[in-house]
């Protein structure tokens, strides 16, 4: 059953309450690391499905069966990547960008 943990807790409704103590701070750090890992994992899987031309069909079925909007997550994630990469590329001069294009075409 998607998005349901032990004891029937629905993770879509789970809230984290921050208290200013070291145990909660450590738990929050762990949760952030786990979230980043899961997001990177989904990104890698979705990218491979997209290359195979089956991503939309899989996301549609998974969203319907899980009653969650996975495509919304994917669209936001791709947009964040585009903005991040755009910002990184703007740090380079036009000459450096040409070199990067050449190197990327050789891969």
Predicted confidence (pLDDT) per residue in 23-78, tens digit: 788 888 999 999 999 999 999 999 999 999 999 999 999 999 988 899 999 999 99
Does position 3 have pLDDT exceeding 60, yes or no? no
pLDDT at 1: 39
List of residues 6+ apart from 92 with CB closer than 8 A? 100
pLDDT at 11: 56
pLDDT at 23: 76
Task: Give residue 10's region: left, alpha or beta (phi > 0; psi -120 to 50).
Answer: beta
User: In angstroms, rounded to a whole number, what is the distance separating the alpha carbons of residues 73 and 35?
Assistant: 13
- pTM over 0.85? The answer is no
């Amino acid at each position: 059953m998607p998005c349901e943990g032990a004891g029937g807790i629905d993770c879509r409704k789970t809230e984290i309450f921050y208290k200013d103590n070291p145990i909660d701070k450590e738990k929050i750090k762990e949760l952030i690391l786990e979230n980043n890992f899961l997001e990177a994992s989904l990104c890698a899987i979705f990218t491979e499905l997209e290359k195979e031309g089956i991503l939309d069909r899989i996301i549609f079925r998974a969203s319907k069966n899980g009653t969650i909007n996975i495509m919304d997550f994917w669209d936001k994630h791709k947009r964040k990547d585009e903005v991040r990469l755009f910002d990184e590329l703007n740090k380079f001069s036009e000459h450096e960008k040409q070199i990067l294009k050449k190197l990327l075409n050789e891969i």
